[in-house]
């Protein structure tokens, strides 16, 4: 594998190329994948966040190649609604790609957050129709270095979710409005599609909580012996809880949530429209 300049397509480094097996190469190239249903065409599409630089590509069922969505990079999460792919990058900027026509168009619906905001960004479609932007911040706890000496992949620190903030995105005024209450709903965050589900449909969940798994960048492909950040976050009291006790290890590969069927998800959305 050679590294080329993003701007000039010339070799950046002149050292010998790295050699990876296909399984290893997949870990470096593919960051996150999403499967969305398109109700207008009764079809499905797959969206990839991939390297280099966390770019976007998509393909529909039946396509013989991926469609690349330049020029922006460092995307963190995306959702698909009514022919529009909404993607948020790591600094909070949201781009809307219109995939419904023969030519893809893009516009920025909200600008980046000035300064540092959080460690992870998410974008979620709420069942009541709002577009939500979620900020997740970590607390870094120093690990036990002596104990870690016996690990094949030593722990430098333990990462815990310390804060979660939720904003409703006003696409007309192009601003974020913080909300403190999900009003009968829960969030699911992690290394998969972000979800907001209704307590009416899933009464066994805890209202006004965020369920999260570990999608810290360093945990996705490394630190394979470290404990992962898995739990619940109480949005009302701004505190975290363990999902089960003792804490799940689920260290590698990255833990993900098992998503309900697309049929049930679409049905739940239609009931709120």
Q: Are residues 73 and 152 in the same domain?
A: no
- Lowest mean pLDDT: which of 13-22, 115-124, 236-245? 13-22
Domain with 76, as residue range(s), is: 29-117
Same domain for 113 and 133? no
Does 268 lie in the same domain as 228?
yes
- In a domain, residue 14? The reply is no
**Is residue 172 domain-resident?**
no
Instruction: Say yes or no: 58 and 108 in one domain.
Output: yes
The answer to whether residues 81 and 137 belong to one domain is no
Mean of per-residue pLDDT scores for the chain: 84
Q: What pLDDT score does 54 carry? A: 94
Phi, psi dihedrals of residue 83, rounded to the nearest 5°: 80, 0
Same domain, 83 and 111: yes
Concatenated DSSP letters for the chain? ---B-TTT-SBS--SPPP---HHHHHHHHEEEEEEEEETTTTEEEEEEEETTTTEEEEEETT-SS-EE--S---EEEEEEETTEEEEEETTS-EEEEE-SSSS-EEEEEEPPPSS---SEEEEEE-TTS-EEEEEEEEEEEE--HHHHTTSSS--SEEEEEEEEEEEEEETTTTEEEEES--SSEEEEESSS--EEEETTT-TTSPTTEEEE----HHHHHS-TTSPP--EEEETTTTEEE-SSSSPP---SS---PPPPPHHHHHHHHHHT-
Q: Per-residue pLDDT for 261 more than 50?
A: yes
pTM (2 d.p.)? 0.83
Q: pLDDT digit string (tens) for 24-78? A: 887 788 899 999 988 777 789 999 999 989 999 999 999 999 999 998 999 999 9
Is 269 domain-assigned? yes
User: Is there a single domain that holds both residue 140 and residue 105?
Assistant: no
Q: What is the per-residue pLDDT across 146-161, written as a single tens digit (0 to 9) for each?
A: 444 444 455 456 788 9
Overall domain count for the chain: 2
- Statement: residue 272 has pLDDT above 80: no
Mean pLDDT of 207-219: 88
Tell me if 93 is assigned to some domain.
yes
Residue 221: closest CA among 160, 161, 153, 156: 153
The answer to whether position 101 is within a domain reads yes
Q: Are residues 149 and 112 in the same domain?
A: no
Same domain, 133 and 228: yes
More confident residue, 180 or 263: 180
100 and 141 belong to one structural domain: no
Within a domain: residue 34? yes
């Amino acid at each position: 594998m050679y590294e080329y300049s993003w701007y000039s397509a010339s070799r950046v480094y002149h050292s010998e190329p790295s050699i990876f097996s296909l399984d290893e190469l997949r870990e470096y190239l593919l960051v996150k994948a999403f499967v969305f249903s398109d109700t207008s065409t009764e079809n499905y599409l797959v969206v990839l966040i991939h390297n280099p630089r966390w770019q976007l590509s998509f393909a529909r069922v039946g396509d013989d190649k991926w469609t690349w969505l330049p020029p922006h990079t460092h995307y963190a999460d995306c959702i698909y609604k009514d022919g529009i792919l909404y993607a948020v990058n790591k600094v909070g900027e949201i781009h809307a790609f219109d995939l419904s026509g023969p030519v893809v168009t893009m516009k920025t619906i909200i600008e980046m957050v000035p300064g540092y905001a959080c460690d992870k960004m998410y974008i979620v479609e709420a069942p009541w129709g709002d577009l939500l932007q979620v900020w997740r911040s970590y607390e870094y706890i120093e690990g036990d270095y002596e104990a870690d000496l016996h690990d094949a992949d030593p722990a430098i620190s333990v990462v815990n979710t310390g804060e979660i903030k939720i904003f409703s995105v006003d696409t007309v005024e192009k601003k974020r409005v913080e909300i403190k209450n999900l009003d009968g709903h829960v969030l699911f965050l992690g290394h998969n599609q972000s979800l907001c589900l209704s307590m009416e449909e899933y009464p066994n969940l805890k209202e006004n909580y965020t369920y999260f798994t570990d999608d810290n960048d360093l945990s996705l492909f490394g630190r394979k012996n470290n404990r992962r950040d898995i739990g619940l976050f109480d949005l009302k009291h701004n505190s975290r809880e363990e999902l089960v006790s003792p804490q799940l290890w689920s260290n590698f590969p990255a833990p993900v949530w098992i998503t309900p069927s697309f049929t049930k998800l679409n049905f739940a959305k239609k009931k709120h429209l």
